[in-house]
Chains A and B, each alone.
Chain A
């Protein structure tokens, strides 16, 4: 067995970590092709020229980061000085896209390189910075630009090279996320980062730089298996399992491998690289890729769905192919990494995500589930979300006053759900969410005026919107039949029971063309 090696079971290695970090805003900026894609209406800003008023593609990428972060700040009604730490990343050498784009903000800055996994890497680090107590608010900004990535990794656009069928199209896009500690003094978040699971580097010997999906899929399998094994969760426990940019080929490989490992991904599996373009009409071969792909789709599509209570919990798994042009020329294989972040629109009751987690001896990790149970029992009488003193963010809603919202997936009736996740009881029964009013946030609506663009002569066309009330509107109603098949679930129809047995059947695997 290649995957699912269980060496961690007897090791001291920590697989994942519970967090209770709020996502207070997200913003996305994209180029023309993405705007014309199935999710086009959801993105906050776009520029049909892809230049964002800049002279070079690299400057355009930096500008996208600046715009994305500014838009997110505007949505949250915050200033840059409200943030303690900023994580930025892109695909350019030495991360210059982030450095130039974010140098105007007076926030301590950490540049990240995780290839296309940078968005999840940043979210993990930003969540941990808050959970550790260092930061109150952190931000994550990642971007990629088709034209600068082509120059960086393959050849400049002017070369006009042919793309093989397994190639993916680097998304021109940027995403920004604002994260915040959950406390009474701060505006209540709408979405939470509830668990993070950093991935390991996996190299299965793929040497084809035009087939990154195949290189990244094993890393995704590795992270998913580690997470599912350690947490006792199952793919059916989630409304969506979202990978960053495996594309059509990598997505099909992931499905095959996960089925072989006993965790088949059902209808709730999505890939941002598959969702962002119309495959046939837009001639993108195997789908989208890049830091901006997962970041912009997450910010524009999935987080608003969570914020609007259309989904309960999702797994977000961004995969990165960690190659350089030189390593490819030297014939090296492509190492890949996949980082996992769990989003939820409620904090799990009895979760012990507070500061006391850090008093745990790291050597006691093996007893992690028991430790959590004990903490849960001890907190029964305490506010439902035992954070640090005086920080009960969710109004202390206890089990007794849980509202039963008929629109939400019911918690217990599915037997499948209970058997598969019995390993961690406090998560297995998704407790009904706290009263919606308790955590509802009215994002300050973002009307124009924010985007004072430096170049007055050549201002990009920008359109802007806050978290939409109904992101479904822009789902590919006008997309191809195939795309509609891949995005079949309207959670409005209340079929969103994550334990749905039918979801176990592996879906159609799109293989043609790859």
Chain B
């Protein structure tokens, strides 16, 4: 039954993160792009101070899939690269640690657009 509780935790944490973003869209004048940036920066900050890794440990994909997880990943990669390469690692680590996610978004986006055409929501 581990996977059931795991799914439940992921659903709750991921859902709360999305709920906050929905409230920001509905209740404030923030544009979607700004909310995305806020989420990434928040993730970087929480990752840097060590809160986000603990949350990811608890919720799994519920914490790592939302954009805050992307921010935390950048923070983690930067810290590791600085340890390995010195200060130049600050410029290397962020992209190298998130390269998998970025490349996946490009590849799967491309594959999806071969298969389907965009249309307005029903």
Contact = CB atoms under 8 A, between A and B. Distances in A.
B26 A165 contact: yes
B113 interface: yes
Contacts of B120: 33, 50, 146-147, 157
B94 to A, nearest CB: 24
Contact of A162 (B22, B29, B113, B118): B22
A410 to B, nearest CB: 47
B26 A164 contact: yes
Candidate in B118, B119, B120 with the most chain A CB atoms within 10 angstroms: B120
Contacts of A283: 121
Interface in A19-65: 33, 49-50
Interface string A407-443: 0000000000000000000000000000000000000
A367 interface: no
Contact of B32 (A146, A156, A162, A208): A162
A164 B25 contact: yes
B116 to A, nearest CB: 9
Contacts of A164: 25-26
Contacts of B118: 147, 156-158
Interface string A122-153: 00000000000000000000000011000000
A56 to B, nearest CB: 10
A165 B26 CA distance: 6
A156 B119 CA distance: 10
A165 B22 CA distance: 11
Contacts of B25: 162, 164
B32 A161 contact: yes
Interface in B1-49: 22, 25-26, 29, 31-32
A169 B105 CA distance: 28
B22 A208 contact: no
B29 A50 contact: no
A328 to B, nearest CB: 9
Candidate in A50, A146, A158, A283 with the most chain B CB atoms within 10 angstroms: A158
Nearest to A147: B120
Contacts of A158: 113, 118
B121 to A, nearest CB: 8
Contacts of B121: 283
A147 B119 contact: yes
A208 B119 contact: no
Nearest to B30: A164
Nearest to A145: B120
Which 8 pairs across A and B sit closest by C-beta, in order of nearness? A157-B118, A158-B118, A161-B32, A162-B25, A164-B25, A146-B120, A162-B32, A208-B29
24 contacts: A33-B120, A49-B119, A50-B119, A50-B120, A146-B120, A147-B118, A147-B119, A147-B120, A156-B118, A157-B118, A157-B119, A157-B120, A158-B113, A158-B118, A161-B32, A162-B22, A162-B25, A162-B32, A164-B25, A164-B26, A165-B26, A208-B29, A210-B31, A283-B121
Given A156-B118, A161-B32, 14 more contacts: A33-B120, A49-B119, A50-B119, A50-B120, A146-B120, A147-B118, A147-B119, A147-B120, A157-B118, A158-B118, A162-B25, A162-B32, A165-B26, A208-B29
